[in-house]
Amino acid sequence: EPAADAPGEGRGRGQSEPDGMSGVFFYVQHLLGIGHLRRAAIIARALRRRGLDVAFVSGGAPAGEMNLEGATLVQLPPALSADAQFSAIHDERGQPIDDAWRDARKQILLEHFAAIRPDLLLIEMFPFGRRQFAFELEPLMAAANARGIPVAISLRDVLVAKNKQKRNAEILAAVNRHVSAVLVHGDPALVRLEATFPATPGIKPPVIYTGYVAEASPTAERHDAPGEEILVSAGGGAVGGPLLRAVLAARPVTTVAESAWRLIAGPNLPDQEFSSLAANLPAKVTLERFRRDFPALMAKARLSISQAGYNTVMDILGTGARALVLPFAEGAESEQTLRARLLAERGLLGLLEPPYEPARLGGAIDEALLRPPPPAGGIDLGGAAATARIIQTLMDHC
């Protein structure tokens, strides 16, 4: 593999203009949950700690207060998924986007890029994902190439597998035409990009594994004297209702039914669903939307029960929590299941795949409680700092 801080040899390089630069123009588009946004925010903070200016360009729904450590938030007209199957893209009013909306947002994005005049363009996912946004991202990458600045792709470890040869060829063409480096936020010792993107050998710019992007561990004592609380979390919450209901249904048949249980619903759980859960909570069960100290709660919990999104799994590994994960696997979603299986094989977490019937889930909870906490180390969690180093190197060699 190329060294983690090696400069890429891809397209989009050349002499950049010395004046008016503002560092990194970082585009991220979240559609349903907030996982993409949260991972991007961790990277933005690492870039800021390295002394780089960052324009953090968000194309999804505003997610409330975000810690960007001084990065400039650029909010585009929001685009959202119509449902969990990503069947359509809607605007902030819930209307399907049309060509006029696309043209207007593309123009806004390109105007911001021209005004900021960054040293480097960093794009999350595209062209490996977010195909619906090619209308603005192809022109954005072309604008960066025209200015002679590097284009880097910020890519999670596991993609939703695409077995269509034509689509893979389109991705390769876009990467090889526009991109200086592909930064994979994962550890090749666990999973390589080829596992979910078989056309990887055709990528011409360097494919650089950064390690996983994780928050710093909130405590120096991993596994020491865990508490009695059972912590249940639903990520951003947009599709978390079924998990929360399934766990509540299974709780009475577990050996810890009398323990304190804390449910973290996530900011995007629909209000009606949150209210319904809150109105029917059993004794010793609390329900909250969000906790800033979530990693610390996880570190102290007797057991964490959650979906298996990228950020939640990184919290599990970072805190050394004893955990049971229930991957989100609706439609074509395979990402959470694949990552969870690989980690379960290494004894780092417990895994239960659907169906989540009460007796079956209750048994899995009891089984997870009997396992020892996962061993520390073995998975590279230094991806945020490594990404910032790579970005700096790409900029220095421009």
What pLDDT is recorded for position 163? Answer: 66
Q: Is the four-CA dihedral 18, 4, 141, 125 of positive or negative sign?
A: negative
Q: Interior CA angle at 110 toward 105 and 112, to 5°?
A: 95
Please give the residue that has the higher pLDDT: either 334 or 364.
364
Q: Is the four-CA dihedral 276, 278, 284, 287 of positive or negative sign?
A: positive
DSSP H helical segments within the chain, as ranges?
Answer: 35-49, 99-116, 134-147, 165-178, 241-250, 271-279, 294-300, 310-319, 335-345, 358-370, 383-396
- Give the residue from 296, 344, 348, 345 showing the smallest Cα distance to 322: 348
The answer to whether the bond into 355 is cis (omega within 30° of 0) is yes
pLDDT tens digits for 207-228?
Answer: 999 999 998 655 444 545 568 9
Q: Report whether pLDDT(98) > 70.
A: yes
Cβ(239)–Cβ(85) below 8 Å: no
What pLDDT is recorded for position 1? Answer: 35
Cβ(351)–Cβ(325) below 8 Å: yes
Q: Which residues contact 99 (CB under 8 A, 6 or more apart)?
A: none
Instruction: Give 364's DSSP letter.
Output: H
- Give the residue from 253, 273, 88, 255 showing the smallest Cα distance to 263: 273
pLDDT tens digits for 67-95?
Answer: 899 999 999 999 988 776 667 899 999 89
What pLDDT is recorded for position 162? Answer: 62
Q: Report whether pLDDT(351) > 60.
A: yes
